[in-house]
């Protein structure tokens, strides 16, 4: 087992983060980012152990993208402190670069598919969570792409979510926004129980 696998990323995240909402956010971002990693592995013709090894950094970068946020929320410190810790611990370059790139203010260029997938998944997963939680059922299963697009135009709804980052993320991945929303929505629906978005039964 690698020192830099998902289990160790989850452990590090929990050492630095106590907020249930931040932990849920990390899991939601992981869910969407990994879905894109699995798509890319298929596109590259990878399977079995090769595919698993390819996707592992998608798990770890997503879990660790905000791991320093609770202690260091300011733009002067967030991601910089985290990446310094990841560097000291010897985490792979690809993971550290993706963590830096997800924060636009670092001006880190998007180089890898992982960089693009993490950035694209960050704001959208939060927005989809918000869309689920305003449903009477509080279930991600009741969220639809058309409804998400409508909510994106409502500036009063989830105003902390940067709509332009959702759009830019889709552009980076080379797909329409509707397809991007659908991809992340299906991924989060598959993991609804883990994300706490299964909702109430009818």
Q: What CATH number does the domain containing 116 carry?
A: 1.10.3210
Q: Which two tokens stand for residue 45?
A: 């013709």
Task: Answer yes or no: is 128 within a domain.
Answer: yes
Q: Could you give the number of structural domains in the chain?
A: 1
Closest CA to 118 of 19, 3, 35, 8: 35
| Distance from C-alpha of 33 to C-alpha of 83, rounded to nearest angstrom | 19
Q: What is the pTM of this model?
A: 0.94
Task: Answer yes or no: is 199 within a domain.
Answer: no
How much is the average pLDDT of 133-162? 95
Whether the per-residue pLDDT at 202 is higher than 70: the answer is no
Greater confidence (187 vs 105) lies with 187
- For residue 67, give its domain range: 6-194
Task: Answer yes or no: is 108 within a domain.
Answer: yes
pLDDT of the residue at 74 = 85
Task: Answer yes or no: is 119 within a domain.
Answer: yes
The answer for residues whose C-beta is within 8 angstroms of residue 160's C-beta and 6 or more apart is: none
What percent of the chain clears pLDDT 90, i.e. is strictly above it?
90
Task: Answer yes or no: is 113 within a domain.
Answer: yes
Task: Answer yes or no: is 29 within a domain.
Answer: yes
Whether the per-residue pLDDT at 99 is higher than 60: the answer is yes
Task: Answer yes or no: is 26 within a domain.
Answer: yes
Task: Answer yes or no: is 201 within a domain.
Answer: no
pLDDT grade, residue 201 (50/70/90)? Answer: low
């Amino acid at each position: 087992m690698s020192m830099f696998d998902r289990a160790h990323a989850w452990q590090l995240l929990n050492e630095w983060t106590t907020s249930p909402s931040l932990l849920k956010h990390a899991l939601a971002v992981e869910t969407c980012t990994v879905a894109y990693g699995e798509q890319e592995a298929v596109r590259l013709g990878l399977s079995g152990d090769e595919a698993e090894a390819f996707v592992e950094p998608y798990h770890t970068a997503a879990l660790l993208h905000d791991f320093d946020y609770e202690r260091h929320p300011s733009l002067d410190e967030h991601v910089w402190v985290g990446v310094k810790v990841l560097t000291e611990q010897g985490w792979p370059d690809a993971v550290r670069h993706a963590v830096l790139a997800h924060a636009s203010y670092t001006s880190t260029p998007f180089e890898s598919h992982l960089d693009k997938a993490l950035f694209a998944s960050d704001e959208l997963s939060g927005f989809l969570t918000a869309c689920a939680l305003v449903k009477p059922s509080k279930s991600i299963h009741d969220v639809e792409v058309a409804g998400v697009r409508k909510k994106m135009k409502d500036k009063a709804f989830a105003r902390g979510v940067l709509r332009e980052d959702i759009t830019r993320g889709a552009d980076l991945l080379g797909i329409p926004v509707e397809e991007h929303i659908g991809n992340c929505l299906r991924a989060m629906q598959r993991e609804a129980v883990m994300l706490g978005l299964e909702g109430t039964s009818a």
